[in-house]
Amino acid sequence: MASTTTGKIAEFRRLLSRAHSVLVLTGAGISAESGVPTFRGAGGLWRQFRVTDLATPAAFSRSPSLVWEFYHYRRELVRTKQPNKAHIAIAQAEAKFEKQGKRFNVITQNVDGLHRRAGTKNLIEMHGNLFMTRCTSCGFTEENNSSPICESLRNRGSPAENGPDINEKDLPCCRKCKSLVRPHIVWFGEQIWDDVLEKIEKEIQLCDLFLVVGTSSVVYPAAGYASILSQKNIPIAEVNIETTPSTSIATYHFHGPAAQLLPQLLSSNIDDE
């Protein structure tokens, strides 16, 4: 492995130019420079709660009002944010690979929709999306971009506490059966959806270069993908401002912010050696 960062970037770009099936896994760090808070960093708290306190089926049964306020807050926040240079570099690399008839797929743990908005098409949103809802009774699932998602949540969800619990009948409800809906998001202790797991397994089988961006690599199953691929001797590149449990098995660790590094790693404006 080359010893300088520039040398490592050049090496990675050579590998990339020879790859036939690139798989990218992203986490909250890729959206940090768009102004979306990460989960485990500073700003990861909403009121006094951690995501692990709110993103669970138990929290939703205890207080659908509290959990909906949290998600309403995040939906409204994300609307004000834009994809950054890292999201865009990925979307452009995908387009270039597709043109060459090669595979390029993105698995994101993020629910913010910024990859979609950047134009990524081969996208697996493995934990769901803030703008999808699912009925707790009939299972009806749909995209919902309303702002606010329901009248009772207007001006609610502030990180400073702002009002009593909202009655369940006033929370977002199903168009089909009028029951309470929930965010179509995979919470802790819930299984990743089968169709999503199947798609991921297929890409892991085919992948010949794995790029992991802005994830703490602690939440499974995503945290296990680097290890699966490393056992198959697939080159792994990690981009992160910190080291993670994946760093020790990564072929390359690019230390720094994703919006700065990804254009250097992926863009086609730099001549390929």
For tokens 């995503």, what's the residue?
222
List the Cα angle 119/6/266 in 5-degree steps: 15
What residues numbered 199-258 form the site for ligand BJW, per CB under 6 A? 214-216, 218-221, 239-242, 244, 257-258
List the Cα angle 90/118/211 in 5-degree steps: 20
263 is an interface residue for ligand BJW by CB under 6 A: no
Beta-carbon contacts of residue 231 (< 8 Å; ≥ 6 apart) = none
Q: Cis check for the bond before 64: say yes or no (omega within 30 of 0).
A: no
Which of 45, 177, 206, 270 is close enough to bind Zn ion by CB under 5 A? 177
Among candidate residues 87, 127, 253, 255, the one labeled active-site is 127
CA distance 38 to 212: 16
Beta-carbon contacts of residue 216 (< 8 Å; ≥ 6 apart) = 27, 29, 38, 39, 40, 242, 244
174 binds, among Zn ion, ligand BJW, none (CB under 5 to 8 A by kind): Zn ion
Question: Which of the ranges 134-142, 152-160, 189-197, 247-255 carries the binding residues for ligand BJW, by CB under 6 A?
Answer: 189-197
174 is an interface residue for Zn ion by CB under 5 A: yes
Which is nearest to 111 in space by CA: 94, 128, 96?
128
Q: How far is the CB of 189 from ligand BJW (least distance, A)?
A: 5
**253 among known catalytic residues:** no
In whole angstroms, how far apart are CA 41 and each of 29, 45, 240, 242? 9, 9, 13, 11
Question: Which of the ranges 37-45, 75-83, 133-141, 194-202 carries the binding residues for ligand BJW, by CB under 6 A?
Answer: 37-45
**What's the sign of the alpha-carbon dihedral 179, 183, 188, 189?**
positive
91 is an interface residue for Zn ion by CB under 5 A: no
188 is an interface residue for ligand BJW by CB under 6 A: yes
Contacts with Zn ion by CB under 5 A lie at: 135, 137-138, 140, 174, 176-177, 179
> Annotated catalytic sites, by residue?
127
Contacts with ligand BJW by CB under 6 A lie at: 27-29, 32-33, 38-41, 51, 55, 109, 111, 127, 185-192, 214-216, 218-221, 239-242, 244, 257-258
Per the annotation, where are the binding residues for Zn(2+)? 135, 138, 174, 177
